[in-house]
Every structure is written in C-alpha cells, then in structure tokens.
Structure 1
C-alpha cells in the first residue's frame, strides 16, 4: 500500500527578520508585522511609507517603542496557512530576550490547536536579529521547498541561526539612547567626538568591536570583519542591511560582490520596528557560511508532487521546438502591463523556444487561484525546474514573469549557468499612462489574449518593489513598434556566449 502524501508545511515569521518582500514571496513565507508606538499612535511594519516614518520619527515628541504582535495576528497567519493547504506550520520568531513576540506566537499556537484542529503549529525562536533571524527563516523555507518535513526544516533554521552573524554601524546613538538601550551620556560623548560605534551580534549576544569616524571607514571595517570570518565564497550567504541609507547599502553590496562573489547577496531595508532603535543611517551585514551544513533530504512523496507539477506544466505547453546545440534561456522582467507577454509572443514567432508564461502556467497548475505565498512558491519551483529540464534537452526557454528583484532573477541565472545555456535578460517597460490603459482594458475584458489577472492594485503594490537589474541586459519599450527590439534580441541570441 502506498504511503500517504506528506502534509505541506508553511513557514510563518515575524517582520523583524527583515527578509526582502520578494524573497519572502518566492519562498512562501507568511510574515506577521511587528507593531510600534509613535507619539501615542499604534502602527505596524509597512503601514507607513519609509519617508513618512522617518519624518515622524525625527519629530516625535514622545519616546517611541515597539510592541509584539497580538496573538490574534499570528492566529490569522496560521489560518492563512491552513487555507493555503498546509497541515503543519513552523513559526519562527526573534529571541524572547528582545521581545514578547515569541510568547504571542506560542499563545496563538495554543488557540490554533482548538480552532484549527487539523493544523499542527510548532513555534521556534531562532535567536537572531534582523537578517540573522531572516537567514534562519529562509533556510527553513528552502528546506520545505526541497521537500523537508517540519522537523528537518526546524533543524535547518536552528543550524543557520546558530552560525549567522551581524555586524553594523550606527550613524547616531540618539535612537538607542531614546529607547533606553544605552545611557544618554554615551550618546552625548559619541556625538561630541563624532564616533560611530561598530556592533557585532551572534546568537542574540551584541558587543561593540570598533569605533570609526567616517562611513567609508565603517564599510572598510565591516568588509574586513567579513573577510576574517566568511569561509569559502561559494558557501557564503550575505545580506546588506540599511535604514534609509540606500546609497551606502549599494556601495557596500558592490564591495562585497567584487571581493567575495558570494553564493547569495541580498539588500534589505530595516522595517520601522527595527529602525526605531537604529535610527536612519544604519548600515550592516548579516552573513553565514553554509560549509558543513546538512542539506535536508526531500521526502519521496514531495519529490513526487514536484514531478507531478512539472509534468502538468509541460503538458500545458504547445508542441515543443526541436533541440538546439546551444539552447538559450531568455528571461523577461517587468511590471504587469509592461508588455512582457506581447514581446514574448513576438519572439516565439521568430525563434524556436518553449514559452513559460507564469500566468498561463498558474492556470494549468491551480484550478482555483488564490495567489498566496505558498501557491507562488509551488508555481515557481515547478516552472524553474521545467526550464532547467528543457535546457538539458537542448530546448530554448523563455521565462515570462515579473522577475522584479534580483533574488528572483538570480535563480534563473544559476539555472542557465548550471545547464551551460546562453542567458539573455530583457527589461520590459512602457510609459505609465500606457501601462494603466492596458490594465484597464484587461479589467474590462478588451484584451482577451492576455492570461494575467493582475489589475491596477497589483501594479501599484509591485511598483515599489522593483530592483535594478545587476546583470547585463537589454531594455525594451513596448509602447510602440517592437520590431526593432525583436531583431536586437534575436541578434543577442545568436551572439550570446555559453
């Protein structure tokens, strides 16, 4: 008798993990926002724009403070997990030494045992701060995507949480002093001497390791610290953290990329609940080495589900083109309404390729589409696996999805590299008025050729999350005749190196 299919596992984490939104979506992570009090008003992470938050923080009359999410907010996250098909939930929180968040999650788990009797919830504190916590969460989510059950996913989170480190520099100690974390006399002395403290944290323990006077020296000190503790670059995972310091973060990320070429490099902006303590100008690095970490083995039933998903997606494709000696992987990146599908179809008419259009693949995989984090993770795991298999068979593939952040695009870069395929990356754009007109036509049913269900509200939510493409790429404006752009891409396909 065949063993039953494993129960899907959902990952829930609090927002202090500072995981970039697109990375959280890609890995199916459900995020519970921390809350904070600012001049008597209660807000949640992400509720205020960054500009508005820092404006209010600077002019605050009363000392701001953070507060743990209510148990009901974690319970809502557990409900979402159950609605998405999960039978088990691994809820990861920051250390109970820093917040009551862990206690709130435990309370919610007890409530869930009564309200959601078919759902098993396990709450675990990672012991980390910011992206040291975030990397533990990502490790668990990646283990689940590889087919691990809850116990193995929790072990992956523990192992990364124990070794992940954070180093950062505060532009000012004013906000730590306000929060009561350091005495005002230390803030006064540091301000008088124009000293910026460099802090390091591991497993919840924070210590001062240096004092610098300039941002340039701070970056140098952090890179030196990373170099001394990083291990092999191909095993190195790094996240650059910042609070209202995007230029400094970009500079630091460029230094790290040039010096280490790490396996993973993210840029993460601190949420409001963390920035209350760091203040604007904070810059830091979270990192860990994967050397020696055990890789959670996928259970056979989960492999079967991935195989089933990939098979279903391939069955939904039209007849595939003939294999080529050097197949290409074409990756489109652009907001809803930018014209990606229009360009993709034009390329398909001129070049032998398999068109992997995320909207049509989603329809093939899910009868009822709910666009949850879990659904997205399952879709893109299968779509990326299919792209890799097509390339292995010599069939060129075009990935038509938003691909707005490097964390999403990087997986496709790696597929092309592993398969020895030519990579052609295209950023698809159009003027905003053109995009809005297209979305309106789509909503009215005028454009029946487009399978996308994204409307103006999705466009607005995604627009703020666009990250510049770091890889060499083409830019195509689809508002006019795209014939010249198609010809340029075809030339690139012929010339692209393996």
Structure 2
C-alpha cells in the first residue's frame, strides 16, 4: 500500500496537511508514521511510493518530479474528502513548500510545517545505521557522505513562513506535545487534547555515532516550541 490510515485517536477540527523539513536522518519518517498513529490523518510517504514504483530508484530530477506529482495528487484527493494528511517527504526548498501551501488552499485546508532540528553529525550517523528491515528505513535512500552533504547544501531554511520546531533528538512523546500545542494555537484541537498529552521532553540518541566525526558543539542548540 502507498498510504496508510491507522485507527485515529485525535481528530483535527479541520482538514490539515502536515509537512516536514529537516536534515536526512533527522527523523522525519519516524515522526510521520508515529503521528498518524495518534491523529486521524493519511500517511503519504515519498520513500514508500518510490519503493513501490521503481525497482532501482535513481533519485534524479525526473524521478523526483514524478514522486512529487503523485504525492500531491494523492494528498489532494484526501483533502478533498475532508481527510487530513501527513506529507512525508523533505520539503527542502521554498518552491516545494509553496506548492504544498497552494494545495492546502485549493482544498480549503489548513497547513502546518514541522521543522525537525538536529546537529549534522548525529543526522549523518543515523543514515549510516539504518535498519532496512524496519518500515521507516526499508525504502530510504542509501546515504554516502557526499550525497548527504549535497542534500544539505540544497536545503533552504524556512524564512517568513509559519512553522513549529521540534527536536529530532527528542522522543515522539515530547515531539507530540509541541505539535499538539501548535495545533491548539491554530484552532485545530481543543485545550483538553493538549492537556492530556503534555509531557516533559525526553531525549533520545544524544550521543552521535563516533564514525560520523567530531561534533561541532556550536551547532547543538535546539529550539523547542
């Protein structure tokens, strides 16, 4: 299956598309899969879609265009019927995020950008430890240091855009608290939902993989909203 829609716990007040931004290895797919287990939303995954369509993915411009087009179509169909969507790909550039916002407006849906922040060393170390037997990692791109660096160079940090920042090092329980607080501010969940899901931050994977190189301590500051 290309999309999944588990039994929901929280229903948003209006159809919403939640999309992601962060380094390779920051935990975007883990967050997406975990999120659709607690809110009523469809999980539309670029990695899963690519793995189903291409026996040997090339990750080139043409292939990316096909994946983005299909993801937008699938997400649009869900939004059109009033179903929220977690758009599981790295919305790395201004133009890509603008297209997602346009898609939301077309279907009179809300939109929320989630920026997962993590230091480069930890992120790259995670890409080298992927377990292809797991759902999150099975279809992920094999990441050399050169590929990782090229992807980072091509990323455009959000500017003058509405987003919520979560730490890629925190547990999902902690990430969920930040996300629900933002959804409450947007009028998408009630105060009771937030209060019953508030938790203190829980740190995970604090020590980068030694093989990833020396940690630049100046880049370890994480902003939590």
The answer, yes or no, to whether TM exceeds 0.5 is yes
Task: Provide Cα deviations, 1:204-237, integer angstroms capped at 9, x if missing partner.
Answer: xxxxxxxxxxxxxxxxxxxxxxxxxxxxxxxxxx
Shift of 1:325: 5.9
Task: Provide Cα deviations, 1:66-120, integer angstroms capped at 9, x if missing partner.
Answer: xxxxxxxxxxxxxxxxxxxxxxxxxxxxxxxxxxxxxxxxxxxxxxxxxxxxxxx
Shift of 1:495: 3.7
C-alpha separation in 1, matches of 2:89 and 2:25: 11
Q: Is the counterpart of residue 467 in structure 1 residue 153 in structure 2?
A: no
Q: Is the counterpart of residue 438 in structure 1 residue 118 in structure 2?
A: no
Q: Is the counterpart of residue 402 in structure 1 residue 90 in structure 2?
A: yes
Which of 115, 118, 121 is the aligned partner of 1:427?
A: 115
Which secondary structure does the structure 1 equivalent of 2:165 belong to? strand
C-alpha separation in 1, matches of 2:187 and 2:105: 11
Shift of 1:368: 2.9
Q: Is the counterpart of residue 349 in structure 1 residue 37 in structure 2?
A: yes
Which of 106, 113, 117 is the aligned partner of 1:418?
A: 106
The answer on whether the counterparts of 1:403 and 1:409 sit within 8 Å (CA) in structure 2 is yes
C-alpha separation in 2, matches of 1:411 and 1:426: 16
The answer on whether the counterparts of 1:327 and 1:395 sit within 8 Å (CA) in structure 2 is yes
TM-score norm. by structure 1 comes to 0.34
Partner of residue 340, structure 1: 28
Shift of 1:485: 2.1
The answer on whether the counterparts of 1:333 and 1:400 sit within 8 Å (CA) in structure 2 is no
The answer on whether the counterparts of 2:5 and 2:41 sit within 8 Å (CA) in structure 1 is no
Higher helix share: 1
Q: Is the counterpart of residue 318 in structure 1 residue 27 in structure 2?
A: no
Partner of residue 329, structure 1: 17
Which secondary structure does the structure 2 equivalent of 1:401 belong to? strand
Aligned CA distance change for structure 1 residues 321 and 390 (closer, same or farther; 3 Å): farther
Task: Provide Cα deviations, 1:325-373, integer angstroms capped at 9, x if missing partner.
Answer: 6111101111211110121122112111111121111112223312221
TM-score norm. by structure 2 comes to 0.73
Aligned CA distance change for structure 1 residues 360 and 480 (closer, same or farther; 3 Å): same
Q: Is the counterpart of residue 369 in structure 1 residue 57 in structure 2?
A: yes
Q: How does 1:263-302 map to 2 (within 5 A)?
A: none
Aligned CA distance change for structure 1 residues 465 and 316 (closer, same or farther; 3 Å): closer
Aligned CA distance change for structure 1 residues 448 and 384 (closer, same or farther; 3 Å): closer
Structural RMSD (CA): 2.4
Q: Is the counterpart of residue 488 in structure 1 residue 160 in structure 2?
A: no
C-alpha separation in 2, matches of 1:332 and 1:384: 14
C-alpha separation in 2, matches of 1:419 and 1:368: 34
The answer on whether the counterparts of 1:346 and 1:486 sit within 8 Å (CA) in structure 2 is no
Q: How does 1:109-188 map to 2 (within 5 A)?
A: none
Task: Provide Cα deviations, 1:173-206, integer angstroms capped at 9, x if missing partner.
Answer: xxxxxxxxxxxxxxxxxxxxxxxxxxxxxxxxxx
The answer on whether the counterparts of 2:5 and 2:40 sit within 8 Å (CA) in structure 1 is no
Task: Provide Cα deviations, 1:392-425, integer angstroms capped at 9, x if missing partner.
Answer: 1111101111111101111001011111111111
The answer to which structure, 1 or 2, has the higher relative contact order (CA under 8 A, 6+ apart) is 2
5+ residue gaps, structure 1:
1-314
Shift of 1:316: 2.5
Partner of residue 207, structure 2: none
C-alpha separation in 1, matches of 2:80 and 2:7: 14
Q: Is the counterpart of residue 457 in structure 1 residue 146 in structure 2?
A: yes
Higher strand share: 1
Partner of residue 209, structure 1: none
Which secondary structure does the structure 1 equivalent of 2:87 belong to? strand
Aligned CA distance change for structure 1 residues 388 and 445 (closer, same or farther; 3 Å): closer
Aligned CA distance change for structure 1 residues 465 and 319 (closer, same or farther; 3 Å): closer
The alignment covers a number of residue pairs equal to 183
Aligned CA distance change for structure 1 residues 497 and 423 (closer, same or farther; 3 Å): farther
